Amino acid sequence: MKQRQFLDVVDEATAHARFDELCQQIKPRIVDTPLGPELLGRVLAEDARSPVDVPGFDRSNVDGFAVQAKDSYGAEELDPIRLKILQPSIAAGDNPKNREVLPGTAIPIATGAVIPRGADAVVMVEDTTILDDDPNSVLVTRAAPPGNRISWAGTDLGRGDIVLYRGQQLSSRETGLLAAIGLGSVKIYAPPRIAIASTGDEIIPPGAPLSLGQIYDSNSRIVADAVTEAGGKAEFLGIIPDDEEQLEQCLEAALLGTDHGADILILSGGTSKGAGDLNARVVEKLSKKLPNSAGIIVHGVALKPGKPLCLAGIAGKAVAILPGFPTSAIFTFHEFLAPLIRQLAGRPKHELNSYIDAKIPVKIPSIIGRAQYSLVNLVRGDDGLSAYPLGSGSGSVSTFSRADGFVRIDQHTEYLSANTRAPVHLLNANIRPVDLVAIGSHCLGLDALLGALAEQGIRGKSIVVGSSAGLNALKRGEGDLAGTHLLNVESGVYNESFLPENCRLLKGYRRRQGFVFRKGDERFEGVGKEHWLAAIRKGHARMVNRNRGSGTRLLIDQFLGNSGSTLPGYETQARSHHAVAASVAQGRADWGVTLDTLAEQNDLGFVFIQDEHYDFAIPKNRWEQPGIKALRELLTKPETWKTLNSLGFHKFESDES
């Protein structure tokens, strides 16, 4: 299968077929492993059989007296039966050889001790009395039927019985069972060895100071941990700079290293067509150099996200070059590599119980000719679960961590219509909807409140869609609250007139909105509240706007009027206050509108425009649910307001109770 395809894009099915054929030669390794912590999470490669009977002997389940059952018949509390005590007592671990219970006698016995010859029942010590004047006799006050309080040898497990079947993943329950039957070792599927490297001069490790143009290496961390979750053993090769010779040496050593090297090699970045495609060049070079190499079999898949994926075979091993963008990288990992890793680790190739049916509340567009995966958040609605698309691009580092699952749109479908139903593939089979979903405008104050609720055990999440979209979601019955800061220009009142009929308003806090710019910009230094509009028009300054539907966007449009759309940068829409501050601070824009706290954090000039009201719209039928009640209670506590004040948020005097 010697194919060379450099961004000769193939469909998803073709890519899978080629990769599956390549991976047929990669076999799982089975190892005999001693009982110990390394077994936890591993999968049995053969049936585990008990080498002994369990229990291994007839065992007493209580402290009491071993007796012949017929000697206790008729015993009652007011008419006890007297038996002669045969000493000494039998303790756990004693071998009662040459001991025998004879008719009319009883032998004291401890819990877990071996039942002596002649006994077929144990009378609990609570059902006996020993008189002070006759210590050599015991009075039995309750009859014991044959087998009473005895576990007979082999009744739990018999020698040769299968106790665990091959394919069983070992948890503490299973390892405890293996220990109980005395197995010193078992055969398991060894974790496949996965070598992981990040490449690029712009990549730096977390914790290092970040310069403009550099990015932290998140791909290796998430891929390595995903490898572990799938049952593999990740080995991080480090961050390799854009040096062809160094990269070639590193990859060759990983593939041919001690004990046959890695089973799978994963790189991220450097997959796009062009002169910078270093990873693919080195992979192709190594495939020509090393025997049993299929070379590059796929370089480009009609898949979004993940089109630049590159798959190859070198020296009988699988090689994948994942796209550099985080969401693309992890999607392609889970689509192509995770099933292979699970299979090599002895697990099912595809996870079971990983789908859930949900409503798609809004239209999700796609493009004919390629499969698309759209990350979603699960939100409880009035008619079940809704899957709300996150909508961030493949370059987002946070989207995947915030998602509950994804929906797949096949290559023949142009879009998923609003209010249709679709299967959602859960990113983790144990995922469940959180206790409180905030869907609306983002705010640092809301984050602080959700953090305080988390300390009470109330799990929450914030889905950032803007004030208007959040209110529309509540109107459809999705979500538990929406942060909103919409101003009615005619009345001058925030939020109340925008509230859906099925909602009521919980008063929140106030925050200072203002015009921000880089300090030292002569066009704006010293400009006051009354003159900043004139200054931007006179200075031909480039703005960064906010997304349509956000409260800040309505505020900006109110001030700019009809002429706003002619300003440079008007169509540049940032989705958060943080993005506005960063755009101005880094010089991509000259001005924007954001919060005073973010202006201070980014050392920007700030011209106060007005206080805005950030409140919470809450469906009436959820006003008394535990999460909402806890939020309402939080907003009455002085310590909550101390935290909000420290972040720059406050009450108006008219709000004070």
Q: Which DSSP string do the residues of 187-211 spell out, in sequence order?
A: EEEPPPEEEEEEE-TTEE-TTSPPP
pLDDT of 464 reads: 82
| Cβ contact 119:138 at 8 Å | no
Q: How far apart are CA 504 and CA 392, in angstroms?
A: 30
Q: What are the residue ranges in the chain where pLDDT is below 50?
A: 1-6, 273-276, 656-657
Q: How far apart are CA 503 and CA 619, in angstroms?
A: 4
Across the strands, what pairs with 239?
A: 198
Which residues make Cβ contacts (< 8 Å) with residue 260, sequence separation at least 6? none
Q: How far apart are CA 338 and CA 320, in angstroms?
A: 12
Q: Of 492, 537, 532, which Cα lies nearest the Cα of 515?
A: 532
Q: How far apart are CA 136 and CA 134, in angstroms?
A: 5
Across the strands, what pairs with 185?
A: 34
Tell how strand 128-129 and strand 137-140 pair up: antiparallel
> What 3-state DSSP class applies to 336?
helix
pLDDT of 539 reads: 72
Q: How far apart are CA 547 and CA 538, in angstroms?
A: 25
- How many helices (DSSP H) and strands (DSSP E) are in the chain? 16, 36
Alpha helices in 461-544 (DSSP H): 467-475, 532-539
pLDDT of 602 reads: 95
The structure tokens listed for 188 are 């398991």
Q: Of 341, 35, 317, 52, which Cα lies nearest the Cα of 188?
A: 35
Q: What is the CATH number of domain 30-54+156-189?
A: 3.90.105.10
pLDDT of 531 reads: 85
pLDDT of 489 reads: 79
Q: How far apart are CA 340 and CA 9, in angstroms?
A: 22
Task: Please say whether the dihedral angle defined by the alpha carbons of residues 6, 9, 14 and 15, taken in this order, is positive or negative.
Answer: positive
pLDDT of 276 reads: 47
DSSP tag of 102: P
Q: Of 466, 391, 489, 514, which Cα lies nearest the Cα of 617?
A: 466
Which residues make Cβ contacts (< 8 Å) with residue 37, sequence separation at least 6? none
Label residue 260 left, alpha or beta by phi (over 0 means left) and psi (-120 to 50 means alpha).
left
DSSP labels, 100-137: BPPTTEEEEE-TTPBPPBT--EEEEGGGEE--TT-TTE
- Phi then psi for residue 469, to 5 deg, are -65, -35
Q: How far apart are CA 341 and CA 224, in angstroms?
A: 12
Q: How far apart are CA 487 and CA 496, in angstroms?
A: 9
What are the E-state strand segments in 141-192?
Answer: 150-151, 162-164, 185-189
| Cβ contact 63:125 at 8 Å | yes
Q: What is the largest CA-CA distance in the chain?
A: 115
Domain 511-613 architecture: 3-Layer(aba) Sandwich (3.40)
Q: How far apart are CA 256 and CA 623, in angstroms?
A: 62
pLDDT of 213 reads: 85
The structure tokens listed for 611 are 């206080």
Across the strands, what pairs with 513?
A: 595, 610
Tell how strand 415-416 and strand 405-409 pair up: unpaired
Which residues make Cβ contacts (< 8 Å) with residue 429, sequence separation at least 6? 351, 352, 353, 354
User: Per-domain residue ranges for the chain?
Assistant: 12-27+191-344, 30-54+156-189, 59-151, 355-426, 436-509+615-655, 511-613
- Phi then psi for residue 174, to 5 deg, are -70, -40
Amino acid at 380: R
Amino acid at 352: L
Q: Of 152, 243, 165, 154, which Cα lies nearest the Cα of 197?
A: 243
Domains 436-509+615-655 and 511-613 share a fold: yes
Supply the angle between the helices 278-289 and 244-256 in degrees, to the nearest 10.
50
Place of tokens 């012949």: 68
**Domain 355-426 top-level CATH class:** mainly beta
Q: How far apart are CA 1 and CA 296, in angstroms?
A: 10
Binning the chain into helix, strand and coil, the percentages to the nearest 5 are 25, 30, 45
Q: How far apart are CA 94 and CA 20, in angstroms?
A: 60
DSSP labels, 263-301: SEEEEES--SSSTT-HHHHHHHHHHHHSSS--EEEEE-B
CA neighbours closer than 13 Å in the CB half-sphere of residue 76: 3
> What 3-state DSSP class applies to 255?
helix
Q: How far apart are CA 535 and CA 529, in angstroms?
A: 11
pLDDT of 514 reads: 92
Q: How far apart are CA 502 and CA 255, in angstroms?
A: 61
Place of tokens 């710019």: 517
CATH 3.40.470.10 is right for the domain spanning 436-509+615-655: no
Residue 311 CB neighbours (<10 A): 26
Q: Of 158, 163, 124, 121, which Cα lies nearest the Cα of 140?
A: 124
- The domain 12-27+191-344 is placed in CATH, from the list 3.40.50.620, 3.40.50.300, 3.40.190.10, 3.40.980.10, at 3.40.980.10
Q: Of 428, 317, 391, 329, which Cα lies nearest the Cα of 547?
A: 391
Q: Of 324, 316, 323, 240, which Cα lies nearest the Cα of 282?
A: 240
Q: How far apart are CA 243 and CA 253, in angstroms?
A: 16
CATH fold, domain 59-151, is: Molybdopterin biosynthesis moeA protein; domain 3 (2.170.190)
